[in-house]
Amino acid sequence: MTVRVQRDDFDLGAELAALRAGRTDIGALVSFTGLVRDSAGGDAVSGLELEHYPGMTEQALAKIESEARDRWPLQACLIVHRWGRLLPGEQIMMVATASPHRQAAFEAAEFLMDFLKSRAPFWKREHGPAGAKWVDARNLDEAALARWTKPR
């Protein structure tokens, strides 16, 4: 159960290996990796700047992670999110969830992604031929949260 906010890149394979090292009780390990795309809405993107709120970021991610653990029987959970300047093709962040069966691991990973997109204090700025521009939050991302507030 770990949350990390860092400037440096991460090794997805090594993170997943560490998560299940020495364990034989995990039946499903799901991971998601967010990458920097080279275009956005038809415009070329040459780089991405990620700003965050040190202190609040870690707290917000820990809170989202703890809520996921309350909702699903997770055996392990990892969130790694980078900040700073990134180039197209670079890894931005990852989540990984482990549980005895796949449904909980898939659902929990989606839940973590939906919440950290609009509840963790990160802001993206895209660089392109016309200069730099702060990325607008998408209504779609806010709507994605609604499905988790329905009574289960």
Partner 1 sequence: MSLRVLYFAWLRERIGVPSETVDTGAATVADLVAELRTREERYALAFSDLRSVRVAVDQELTGFDAPLAGAREVAFFPPMTGG
How far is Cα 129 from Cα 4, in angstroms, rounded to an integer?
Answer: 32
**Contact between 47 and partner 1 (CB under 8 A)?**
no
Q: Applying CB under 8 A, what is the total number of residues that bind partner 1? A: 27
CB of 25 to partner 1, least distance (A): 29
State which residue, 26 or 144, has the beta carbon closest to partner 1.
144
CB of 6 to partner 1, least distance (A): 14
How far is Cα 118 from Cα 138, in angstroms, rounded to an integer?
Answer: 9
Residue tagged 């998408």 (tokens): 138
**Contact between 40 and partner 1 (CB under 8 A)?**
no
**Contact between 93 and partner 1 (CB under 8 A)?**
yes
CA-CA-CA-CA torsion sign (134, 135, 138, 141) = negative
CB of 137 to partner 1, least distance (A): 3
Q: In what order do the strands lie in the sheet with 131-134?
A: 84-86, 47-52, 122-128, 131-134
How far is Cα 48 from Cα 93, in angstroms, rounded to an integer?
Answer: 13
**Chain contacts with partner 1 (rule: CB under 8 A):** 34, 51-53, 55-56, 59-60, 81, 92-93, 113, 116-125, 134-137, 142
